[in-house]
Amino acid sequence: MSLDSDRSALRSLLLSKSVKTGSFTLASGKQSDLYVDCRVTTLDANGALLVGRLLHSLYLSESARLGISPAAVGGLTLGADPLSLSLAMTSAMVNPDAPIQAYTVRKEPKGHGRGRRIEGNFTTDAPVIVVDDVITTGDSTLKAIQAVEEEGGKVAFVLVLVDRQEGGRENIESKGYPVASVFTRQELLG
């Protein structure tokens, strides 16, 4: 399959399973006429395959554009978890000798054991990518970035499945982190 057909198939899946119109209160507290529950799509078997291929393509192009080799990908649980794993698995299928690894950022540090906030294959030896399923204000993405940096990591860039085009990208980029998205609100809704 081509990336164009993957993109078209993922757009159709998002529109049929994840996009809802009406009156909604978002996590940011803002009112909106659009709600995008990406988890319904990213946790769908076919959706996960499409997300993995499309995010992998973005990961490769952003890495090449910036001249860096990120070691891992992750973000704030729960929305980022299926994205990270889909990208990492696609990476392992394409390049089994040097795949990108996945990590997850807890909303709060674990209250037992080692008390970690970041789990999985997180490293401070090389830059990492932060992913998010949907950005509105960018606050959740910035929380994940803050957690990574507090643990000594360096964020190379941010990958997003859907940019709602409500200032989130600009908010994140104003802090110095490039953002690439699979879809903007305009591209998704056509």
Q: Which residues contact 176 (CB under 8 A, 6 or more apart)?
A: none
Q: Which of 21-25, 97-101, 118-122 is predicted least confidently?
A: 21-25
Is the confidence at residue 88, as pLDDT, over 80?
Answer: yes
Task: Kindly indicate the confidence band of residue 110, based on its pLDDT and cuts at 50, 70 and 90.
Answer: low
Give the CATH number of domain 3-189; options: 3.20.20.80, 2.40.50.100, 3.90.1150.10, 3.40.50.2020.
Answer: 3.40.50.2020
**Mean pLDDT of the region 136-165:** 97
Give the residue with greater pLDDT, 116 vs 51.
51
Find how far residue 45's CA is from the centre of its chain.
17
Give me the pLDDT at residue 114, please: 64
Q: How many helices (H) and strands (E) does the chain have?
A: 7, 8
Across the chain, mean pLDDT equals: 95
CB 169 within 8 A of CB 188: no
**Mean pLDDT of the region 146-170:** 97
Task: Kindly indicate the confidence band of residue 27, based on its pLDDT and cuts at 50, 70 and 90.
Answer: confident
Give the residue with greater pLDDT, 21 vs 130.
130
Helix or strand holding residue 60 (H, E): helix 45-66
Amino acid residing at 157: F
Give me the pLDDT at residue 115, please: 64
Reduced 3-state DSSP string for 109-161? CCCCCCCCCEEECCCCCCCEEEEEEEECCCHHHHHHHHHHHHCCCCEEEEEEE
Task: Kindly indicate the confidence band of residue 190, based on its pLDDT and cuts at 50, 70 and 90.
Answer: confident
Q: Give the single-character DSSP code of 167.
A: S
Give me the pLDDT at residue 1, please: 73
Give me the pLDDT at residue 112, please: 63
